[in-house]
Structures are given as structure tokens and as C-alpha cells.
């Protein structure tokens, strides 16, 4: 393996929405069986990697600097060190992260940072790992990291990390409503388990393997937002709304403002409202703004982590 000497490498990776998220039973490792469809949207994390002897990290674009750890708890830092170990690279990297995806928002911002760090360090160090090897490292970092590498629209099974591309025609317009306060992913999964336990012994155990329903894939293939709106579903939504009851009101407001349908993204608290097109999204955005919310118009699908 030869180590090339780029000065610095700038990589951009997208946040995601889960347009469908089915959660099955809990495996012994604590992870739940998933069947999900990810869509990468036009809200990006930027990671710039520069040569350094050791490993360091700076983060900008966050209101609360304490919200993002700068040590080994940070997924991008772990990604850089994992790649260095796998490639037996003797040096380090100074990573600069410019965040736009909300922290702990259910949009995979930390996973996008990790995917971007893998691609950036691979190019900076001249590691030259094939995509499949980067995917393998990504899945060891977290369930959503392989998708941030891949981008577009994809079906995730297993823990969400076994990916298959899904055909999606056209473009889908979303209005995102972020929250200042994030939600912890493990807390939301734990709440789902507790709600399911309360449902009682009469309910069947959730399955340990599950599929994405065909109508979801058909709707994506058709490119018709009205069809996709009928198929949006998130098994984590009840648990996220239990933790944050105000999200139910945000969903109601969005639909009243003209969105086709709304969903909590991943484990929340970001709410994603699907609109019939760009004009409708702008209208929904301005109505929600008048209600004191801070909505953002994005579109998907967009590509995964790439050098710019």
C-alpha cells in the first residue's frame, strides 16, 4: 500500500430520512431487527481532513458546543482511527467538521460525519480501500453509517446496515422541522420495548427478521409523492412522541399547512413533511414559520459521501 500526500481533502455527506422504518424484535446484542428505507436529503455535513501526527477534531455549526464530543466518543474520530488501524497507517489526521444536520435529530448526522471521515482519510492517506472494504468498516461504526456512504435511496435490513439500492424516480420535496432539544436513540428504542411490553402478553413477539412492504418500494419507483405519502411509516414514532408529545402537534400543523403527510425521522425528534412539489413545500414552510417553527425545505434523493 502506498501513502499519497494530498494537502487536505474535503468530503460532503448527506443526512437521511427513513421513509419507512419497521422495528422487529431485540437481538441478544441489544440491537433491534430493522426493515427500513433510507433516503439521503440535501442537508449536508462537511468534513475536511488535514495531515497531522496525532488525531484531533474541531466542530462548527452547532449552537451548543458541548453537544458534540471531540474525543473517541465522536463517531468521526472513531472512523479515522479504525481506518488507520485497518490500513496500518502510521500518522494521524486533523478533522474539521462543519455541521448542518441537527445533532441527535434522527437524521444520521453523526453517521454522515463518520462516513465522510472514512472517505476523507482514505483519500488523504492514499489508502485506496475499495468501496466494499469502506462499507465493512462503516457497518462496524454504526447501523446508519453504511447508508451515509452509499446515499440515494436504499433498503436497510439486519440492524439497518445491510443495504440494497432501491429504485426511486424523480425528486421528493420535504419540509423538515427540527427541535432545539435532541432525542437519544437508545432511549427511544428502550421506550418502544417498554410500550410493547405494556401491550401485553397477548401480542405476538416482534419478528427477528422483517421486510419492507412492497407498496413502499412501488411508491418510490413511481416517483409519485401522493403514493409515497400513503406508505410513510415509522414504528419508532409512537415512542418518540411519548418522549416528546409536542411532535404530534408539529405533525398536525404540517398536514394542516398543506403537506401530504408527515413522519418522525428515525428516532426523532426531527419531523419530515412530504410535499407534492417545490411550490407546495415553500408554502408549507412559510405557514409553519408563521406558527413560530423553524422549517427547512430539502429534497431527496441525493448522493452519498463524496469528495468535493
Q: Read off φ and ψ for residue 55, nearest 5 degrees.
A: -110, 125
Strands 92-98 and 55-60 turn out to be parallel
CB of residue 114 vs ligand C5P: minimum separation in angstroms?
A: 10
Enumerate binding residues for ligand C5P (CB under 6 A): 30-32, 34, 142-144, 159-160, 185-186, 189
Check 46, 113, 122, 144 and give the catalytic one: 144
Nearer to ligand C5P, 160 or 262 (CB): 160
The catalytically annotated residue of 16, 113, 161, 173 is 16
Active site residue 144: yes
Task: Compute the least distance from the CB of residue 29 to ligand C5P, in Å.
Answer: 9
For residues 23 and 45, give the distance between their C-alpha atoms in angstroms, rounded to a whole number.
27
Nearer to ligand C5P by Cβ, of 183 and 284: the residue is 183
Q: CB 24 → ligand C5P: shortest distance, Å? A: 9
Is position 294 annotated as part of the catalytic site?
Answer: no
Nearest to 47 by CA among 94, 82, 102, 107: 94
CB of 230 to ligand C5P, least distance (A): 25
Task: Give the residue numbers annotated as catalytic, written as ranges.
Answer: 16, 144
Amino acid at each position: 500500500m502506498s501513502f499519497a500526500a494530498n494537502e487536505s481533502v474535503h468530503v460532503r455527506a448527506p443526512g437521511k430520512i427513513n421513509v419507512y422504518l419497521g422495528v422487529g424484535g431485540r437481538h441478544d446484542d441489544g440491537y433491534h431487527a430493522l426493515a427500513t428505507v433510507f433516503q439521503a436529503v440535501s442537508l449536508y455535513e462537511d468534513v475536511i481532513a488535514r495531515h497531522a501526527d496525532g488525531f484531533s477534531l474541531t466542530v462548527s455549526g452547532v449552537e451548543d458546543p458541548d453537544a458534540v464530543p471531540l474525543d473517541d466518543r465522536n463517531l468521526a474520530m472513531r472512523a479515522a482511527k479504525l481506518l488507520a488501524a485497518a490500513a496500518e497507517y502510521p500518522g494521524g489526521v486533523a478533522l474539521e467538521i462543519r455541521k448542518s444536520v441537527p445533532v441527535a435529530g434522527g437524521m444520521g448526522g453523526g453517521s454522515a460525519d463518520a462516513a465522510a471521515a472514512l472517505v476523507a482519510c482514505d483519500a488523504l492517506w492514499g489508502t485506496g480501500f475499495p468501496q466494499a472494504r469502506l462499507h465493512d468498516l462503516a457497518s462496524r461504526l454504526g447501523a446508519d453509517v453504511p447508508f451515509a456512504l452509499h446515499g440515494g435511496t436504499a433498503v436497510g435490513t439486519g440492524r439497518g446496515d445491510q443495504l440494497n439500492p432501491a429504485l426511486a424516480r424523480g425528486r421528493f420535496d420535504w419540509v423538515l422541522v427540527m427541535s432545539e432539544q435532541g432525542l437519544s436513540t437508545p432511549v427511544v428504542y428502550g421506550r418502544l420495548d417498554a410500550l410493547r411490553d405494556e401491550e401485553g402478553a397477548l401480542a405476538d413477539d416482534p419478528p427477528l427478521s422483517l421486510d419492507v412492504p412492497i407498496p413502499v418500494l412501488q411508491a418510490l419507483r413511481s416517483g409519485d409523492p401522493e403514493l409515497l405519502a400513503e406508505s410513510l411509516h415509522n414504528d419508532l414514532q409512537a415512542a418518540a412522541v411519548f418522549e416528546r408529545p409536542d411532535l404530534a402537534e408539529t405533525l398536525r400543523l404540517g398536514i394542516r399547512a398543506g403537506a401530504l403527510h408527515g413522519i418522525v425521522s428515525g428516532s426523532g425528534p426531527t419531523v419530515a413533511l412530504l410535499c407534492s412539489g417545490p411550490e407546495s413545500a415553500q408554502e408549507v414552510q412559510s405557514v409553519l414559520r408563521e406558527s413560530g417553527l423553524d422549517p427547512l425545505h430539502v429534497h431527496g434523493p441525493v448522493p452519498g459521501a463524496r469528495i468535493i
